[in-house]
Structure 1
């Protein structure tokens, strides 16, 4: 789907359109999730433009297309964060954005979409139903569809997170990455296997949406019979074959967490560090707090805080 060169090209393309986000070392936490001698760095993509890493992929997709293709507007389906990123990309280009979301999308994210000038439609119980409506709308209207994880330009844009981390801290041993459709972990793992091949890469999915976990168990792309997670930004019934191939090749393990663990971790991030993370943004921290990951003393861990929000307090 993509190569390290695609990610490097994306990094050059989006420079000036996104922020270089901080990598914060965790110290003096009241509830430390670490064994003695291990260290934790939080990559604060919650401080990214629009509040998540999704800004990287959306603006890379926009800048990869001829202006005449996007002149009449752009369309996407999203659990929230990708939609906001696409709305902001449309704002940059001075074109209209139409965003389809599931009915349980967070009100705060809907407010952000309105603030960016997007037209929104609430369709279905989870992303896949909104996606079906959005692709039909895009086809009927002749507008380009910005897929949140199956587009190579989107995946390459998300991979720039890993390039940035390696510039900030080249000695990370373990990366913890939340999974919705899989674009983030596909992009980042492409970079890490090319430039830092000995690092462990662990993905985190909700128990109620184990899309890639089920696919790896089956050995091919699986379609879930139901999606029960209450986290709309991580709710996806089926990944893309290209994403699956990258994850199968690059990712060491995927663990499953219940929604409550992610909400608890979001409250921990707020209490300890004043970080307003949505549930998906707290998933990597939740993986450590849950005790499901074995970490040896001396391990250098990077956990992505990949999205902002106040889901845990609503």
Structure 2
């Protein structure tokens, strides 16, 4: 099990290679119509991980896992399967270490992300229809070549790296009452929720998944690691068919509620973030704002609400 010292150690390990992203509190909205109660606007605090190196929070976990490898293992290079953002994070880690890297992507990865990865000049392979297919190929490749495989969410070192966001947020805005976190495989919310609850047991953590990929929602409902028969969302970085026992366990213990939002709701939220705040984010990064705009938090008074804007991009406005 992860301890608070694991998150603090991860922060120390990666600090020279990461940005301390700001927490921004938007006020005086020009467009209040998007909120369900215009007379009681949410008190929002946005952690801008879209400004993180490589464009998303994923750089944190990838770097922490890569730095933990022994020299012999890292010398063979790094590989992973990704919806795009984790791939960029692993590429960044490989450059810091000066080793080779290979990224496996599913064919449902948005074209701009594929192009972004290929422009890095690294080996990129498109395999399978969804992330789970690409992941099997990446693990096979790691076994065959000796490359170090870095899982995007089911790795305690990755989870500890992502949890460093909670340490920063609760220093930057110590009186947050609620955290709203998008969920893909569960690495981000596993780390953030676990670290936040260790620091402030009273804090409320709400996860957000797409209606077309309710992987953790179904897992917690059935108390098992659920495997979805299919996924149907344009937010492909939030769309594995299966999570892992590690993530389900941490989320079950530390997350108060998981809510679902549609692609259209995420798209509307992404467009509002651009119009109102000038933030260009991927569809997945708008999930938390979408849940707030749709009145889905399920909390009468959420208080001061921290939302992780987890990645940059333009697909949210398509």
Structure 1 297/218 Cα, relative in aligned 2: closer, same or farther at 3 Å?
closer
> Residues 64-95 of structure 1: CA distance to partner in whole angstroms, max 9, x if unpaired?
11122111211100011001110111111111
Task: List alignment gaps of at least 5 residues for structure 2.
Answer: none
Cα pair 1:158 1:183 within 8 Å, conserved: yes
When normalised by structure 1's length, the TM-score is 0.96
In structure 2, relative to structure 1, the CA distance for the partners of 1:38 and 1:226 (3 Å cut) is: closer
Query: Do structure 1's residue 274 and structure 2's residue 278 form an aligned pair?
Result: yes
Matches within 5 A, 1:79-118: 79-118=83-122
1:154 aligns with 2:136: no
**2:106/2:127 contact within 8 Å kept:** yes
Secondary structure of 1:95's aligned partner: coil
Q: Does the alignment pair 1:12 with 2:12?
A: yes
TM alignment of 1:11-50, pairs within 5 A:
11-32=11-32, 33=35, 35=37, 36=40, 38-50=42-54
C-alpha distance in structure 2 between counterparts of 1:194 and 1:298, whole Å: 20
Q: Following TM superposition, by how much is the alpha carbon of 1:12 offset from its aligned partner in structure 2, in angstroms?
A: 0.4
1:125 aligned residue (129, 138, 141):
129
Residues 282 and 298 of structure 1: is their aligned pair in 2 closer, same or farther, counting only changes over 3 Å?
Answer: closer
Residues 34 and 11 of structure 1, relative CA distance in 2, 3 Å threshold: farther
Matched, 1:301 2:301: no
Note the aligned Cα RMSD (angstroms): 1.4
Structure 1 counterpart SS, 2:297: coil
Length-normalised TM-score, structure 2: 0.95
- Establish whether residue 205 from structure 1 lines up as the match of residue 215 from structure 2: no
Counterpart-to-counterpart distance in 1, 2:116 and 2:273: 22
Q: How does 1:64-83 map to 2 (within 5 A)?
A: 64-83=68-87
Deviation at 1:107, TM superposition (A): 2.2
5+ residue gaps, structure 1, are: none
The aligned residue for residue 143 of structure 1 is 147
Distance of 1:297 and 1:27 partners within structure 2: 18
Q: Does 1:165 align with 2:144?
A: no
Q: Deviations over 1:20-69 (max 9, x none)?
A: 00100011223343752641011100000011000100111111111221
Deviation string, structure 1 residues 117-157 (Cα, Å, up to 9, x no partner): 32111112211111111111111111110000011110000
Q: C-alpha separation between the residues in 1 aligned to 2:119 and 2:18?
A: 18
Please say if residues 77 and 130 of structure 1, whose CA atoms lie closer than 8 Å, have aligned partners that are also in contact.
Answer: yes
Say whether 1:263 aligns with 2:267: yes
Report if aligned partners of 2:178, 2:302 keep a CA contact under 8 Å in 1.
no
State the alpha-carbon separation in 1 of the partners of residues 122 and 171 from structure 2. Answer: 35
> In 1, Cα distance between the equivalents of 2:191 and 2:46?
18
Count of equivalent residues: 314
Conserved in 1, the CA contact under 8 Å of 2:83 and 2:131?
yes
Partners of 2:304 and 2:70 lie apart in 1 by 42
1:58 & 1:242 partners in 2: Cα distance?
17
Contact 2:76 2:148 (C-alpha < 8 Å) held by counterparts:
no
Deviation at 1:294, TM superposition (A): 4.0
What SS class does the counterpart of residue 207 from structure 2 fall into? strand
Q: 1:313 to 1:37 in 2, by over 3 A?
A: closer
Say if 1:37 and 1:297, in contact at 8 Å, map to a contact too: no
